[in-house]
Amino acid sequence: MFQQLFKSIQEKVVLTPEEMELCKTFFIPKKLRKKQMLLQEGDICIYNAFVEKGILRSFSMDEKGNEHIVQFAIEGWWITDLSSFLTNSNSIYTIEALEDSELLLLTTEAREALMDKIPMFERYQRLLLQNAYIANQARINSALTETAEEKYTNLGNAYPGIVKRVPQHMIASYLGLTPETLSRVRKQITNRI
Amino acid sequence: MSNRRTFAVLGVSETNSIFLVKQIAKTNPVLLFDHDTIILNSVYSQILLEHPNANAEMMICPTNASWEADTIILSNIAATNGNLIEKIRSVATGKIVLFLENKKNTKTSGNAAEKLQHLFPFSKVVQSFESGDSSNDSFFLNGNDKEAVRTILALFTSIGLKANIL
């Protein structure tokens, strides 16, 4: 149940076996079925979720009902609305399972207590935030400067697991493209091969 | 988070459990488990007969039911089943475990809730038992985690039950 979490943690910091056992007592194990929601837009996000198994997406919806996907999370990734989670404000995002998923949920209180009891966990969290910030910068740069084909190709190279597991219209939404544009881009790539 | 909390009800053969699960199923998803499959089928059918739109499901495994749930409800029998408790303990961490103690029939001592909290050290155990008046919709609530007790109070009130915190 904690295999992916400890793999993620041990890639960045070292925990003792005692600290790992203690760590387990702070996480809420939760199974979500496909299409079940972890967070609904307008609610306060009380969990930071680690994905042990499955895949989730977070998205916002515009006035016309169009979904705009801001993040996917596969095994070994975290997903939350950080602003809502840290400031106790209403979320503008919905988080939904795209497959049957197994999560480990961390509340704000548990996160604080865990960082207090295990200083290495605080370092782990800091490194995660650092990486998330870098990834966000790259995503902004991609949105501003890359062509549709570059966006799709780069996503596929960086995260092949996501492109294979997620429906194409969701990939299009994540890249800020229409499904038609993405379909045309994929055809162009296929014809070139 | 999603306001539709999922409830696992383990041991649906007791009067308290049946009554409560029918009320909860009106508004929330419920996952039902009982070792007696005939009773389980019967309760499931009753729920759907009374509330055709209820989101109820029969589960064959208490671990999966509890893993998927946000709140775990244990009947008097389930709470004294060591094998069942062992199966769900690791997936109950951080969750509310509502113990429906049947004062009229129980042979357990008064500190049953404390014993249960000892068995679920990382869960929030809330004890519920009938207040003793003639109706079966009035309960007392007790537990160490005050927020969890208030959550169950809000749940009971929202489904039309009378409850008081001890």
Res B136: pLDDT: 64
Residue of A nearest to B91 (CA): A29
What are the structural domains of chain A? 3-118 (2.60.120.10)
Percent of chain A with pLDDT over 70: 100
Q: How high does pLDDT run on average in chain A?
A: 96
Please indicate whether, in this complex, the C-beta atoms of A38 and B2 are within 8 angstroms of each other: yes
Residues 45-64 of B with CB under 8 A from A: 64
Give the pLDDT confidence of A96-149 residue by residue, as tens digits: 999 999 999 999 999 999 999 999 999 999 999 999 999 999 999 999 999 999
Q: What is the mean pLDDT of each run of 10 residues along chain B (166 residues)?
A: 82 83 91 94 93 93 97 90 94 96 57 86 92 73 93 92 88
Q: Please spell the DSSP secondary structure of chain B, one letter per residue.
A: --S---EEEE---SHHHHHHHHHHTTTS-EEEE-S-HHHHHHHHHHHHHH-TT--EEE-S-HHHHHHH-SEEEE-HHHHT-HHHHHHHGGG-TTSEEEEEE-TTT--S-TTHHHHHHHHSTTSEEEEEEE-SSSSSSEEEEEES-HHHHHHHHHHHHHTT-EEEE-
Res B137: pLDDT: 72
Helix (H, G, I), strand (E, B) or coil at A38: strand
Contacts of A46 in chain B (CB under 8 A): 1
Residue A56 CB coordination number (10 Å): 24
Res B95: pLDDT: 97
**Distance (Å, whole) CA B96 – CA B89:** 12
Contacts of B94 in chain A (CB under 8 A): 26-28, 105, 107, 110
Q: Tokens 């160490």 — which residue?
A: B144
Please indicate whether, in this complex, the C-beta atoms of B93 and A27 are within 8 angstroms of each other: yes
Give the pLDDT confidence of A9-62 residue by residue, as tens digits: 999 999 999 999 999 999 999 999 999 999 999 999 999 999 999 999 999 999
User: Which among B82, B71, B81 is positioned nearest to B29, based on CA atoms?
Assistant: B71
Return the amino acid letter for A36. Q
Residue B127: phi and psi, rounded to 5, are -100, 135
Angle between helices A148-158 and A179-192 in degrees, nearest 10: 80
Residues 61-90 of B with CB under 8 A from A: 64, 67-68, 70, 90
Res B111: pLDDT: 72
Phi-psi category of residue A76: left, alpha or beta, with phi > 0 → left and psi -120 to 50 → alpha = left
ipTM: 0.89
Phi-psi category of residue A115: left, alpha or beta, with phi > 0 → left and psi -120 to 50 → alpha = alpha
* Residues sharing a CB contact under 8 Å with residue A119, sequence separation 6 or more, in sequence order: none
Q: Tokens 């596969």 — which residue?
A: A74
Residues in A lying within 8 Å of B, measured between beta carbons: 1, 24-33, 36-40, 43-47, 102, 105, 107, 110
What are the structural domains of chain B? 7-165 (3.40.50.720)
**Distance (Å, whole) CA B28 – CA B19:** 15
Q: Rounded to a whole number, what is the distance in Å from the CA of A57 to chain B's nearest CA?
A: 14
Q: Rounded to a whole number, what is the distance in Å from the CA of B104 to chain A's nearest CA?
A: 34
Counting every residue, how long is chain A?
Answer: 193
Element (H, E) at A32: strand A28-32
Q: Say if CB B7 and CB B29 are below 8 A apart.
A: yes
Q: Tokens 């306001």 — which residue?
A: B3
Helix (H, G, I), strand (E, B) or coil at A57: strand
**The two structure tokens encoding residue B51:** 């509330």
Contact B124/A at CB under 8 A = no
**Helix ranges restricted to H, chain A:** 3-10, 17-24, 82-87, 108-117, 119-145, 148-158, 160-165, 168-175, 179-192
Contacts of A33 in chain B (CB under 8 A): 68
Q: Rounded to a whole number, what is the distance in Å from the CA of B25 to chain A's nearest CA?
A: 17
Q: Tokens 């969750």 — which residue?
A: B95
When CB atoms are compared, the residue of A25, A31, A110 closest to B68 is A31
Does the global pTM surpass 0.95? no
